[in-house]
Amino acid sequence: MADGAILQNILNFGPVFLLIAARALAMIETAPLLSSDAIPQVAKISLAGFAAFAVLPNAGVFAAELTAAGAAGVSGVGAVTLPGSGVLSDLRYEPFGLRFLLLLVGEGIIGIIIGFYLTLIFATFSTAGQFFSLQMGLGASETFDPLAQIENPLMGQYFNLVSMLVFLVIGGFRELFLGGFGRSIQSINFAMLVEGRDHVIGMMASGLAKLFLDAMVISLPILGTLFLTSLSTGLISKAAPQINILSEGFPIAILAAYLLLFATLPFLVETFAHVMEDGFANIQRLYTQIGQQIGGGL
């Protein structure tokens, strides 16, 4: 009985459900962890469908209202509220039409933007590990990283693993689906995204700049220590050429880096959590800037 009611609810709002599911699937296909090839495609599609059904009652920007055609007794199901004008367009969610196809592509773009911005956040930690891998002597240790889906040095993979655990601890998936995806369904549609494209471009540009800044801040203590280690071994080799200190430089650098990582790991975890929370806050800020105001949570 409950399954029949759920299916009937999906069928009654089929076009809107497809639009929301397209946004969810695009986000899942581009977001870190969820986009991994280790996850079956069927599971991703099922998760997108479940997420779309869960937020369907809260889809404020897809609210069914009467258009001008409604005055003649025809319900304008799925009318889109044009941002800034306060009037309703006669654009209706008619399946298998060109306008519906364009809306479907637009919803996919919104999902890609959410997932890609989260990818920028995770790229911060991988970049931080790459900054000092060469100085440690592990620059040639690049292997395929299943989390980042790229060739990554050993330290980049280690930071990716730590960031994944931090993401789980702080409730990252809850923030992604409730704060990132769910709030976007409540506040923005593709028309609003096009009108507020300057804010979107600004968020992406600032996110890319913040990626390198945060990566440098995270790696600076280890990078500076390795620089001082290399400088010290170079001065010793110049002062006493008979001591082949450079041959022992790599073990010394690796040992110093590992000791520093062990000592600073609690601070690194706190920094990782702060970077992720700041990224989610930036997404919420974008919704506030270009979307309609909402109150409360899902």
At residue 4, does pLDDT exceed 60? no
Q: Is the CB of residue 225 less than 8 Å from the CB of residue 137?
A: no
Q: Is the CB of residue 260 less than 8 Å from the CB of residue 221?
A: yes
> What residue type is assigned to position 88 of the chain?
L
pLDDT tens-place string over residues 79-108: 444 344 333 333 345 666 777 788 888 889
The token duo for 116 is 């890609």
Residue with the bigger pLDDT between 46 and 290: it is 46
CB atoms within 10 A of CB 11: 9
Q: Is the CB of residue 125 less than 8 Å from the CB of residue 37?
A: no
Alpha-carbon distance of 49 to 93, in angstroms, equals 18
pLDDT tens-place string over residues 168-190: 888 888 888 888 888 888 888 88
Residue with the bigger pLDDT between 149 and 119: it is 119
- 116-137 as b/e, with b when 16 or more CB fall inside 10 Å? ebbbbbbbbbbbbbbbbbebbb
Q: Is the CB of residue 88 less than 8 Å from the CB of residue 109?
A: no
Confidence of residue 27 (pLDDT cuts 50, 70, 90): very high
The mean per-residue pLDDT over the stretch 135-143 comes to 66
pLDDT tens-place string over residues 203-245: 888 888 888 888 888 888 888 888 888 787 777 777 766 666 6
DSSP states along the chain: -HHHHHHHHHHHTHHHHHHHHHHHHHHHHHSTTTT-TTS-HHHHHHHHHHHHHHHGGG-GGG-----GGGGGT---TTPPBPTTT--B-S----TTSHHHHHHHHHHHHHHHHHHHHHHHHHHHHHHHHHHHHHHHT-TT--EEETTTTEEE-HHHHHHHHHHHHHHHHTTHHHIIIIIIIIHHHHH--HHHHHHTHHHHHHHHHHHHHHHHHHHHHHHHHHHHHHHHHHHHHHHHHHH-TTS-GGGGHHHHHHHHHHHHHHHHHHHHHHHHHHHHHHHHHHHHHHHHHHS----S--
* Domain residue spans of the chain: 108-290
Q: Is the CB of residue 127 less than 8 Å from the CB of residue 215?
A: yes
Alpha-carbon distance of 74 to 262, in angstroms, equals 68
CB atoms within 10 A of CB 27: 27
* Closest to 32 (Cα-Cα) out of 145, 127, 125, 147: 147
Confidence (pLDDT) at 259? 86
Round the CA-based radius of gyration of the chain to a whole number and report it: 25
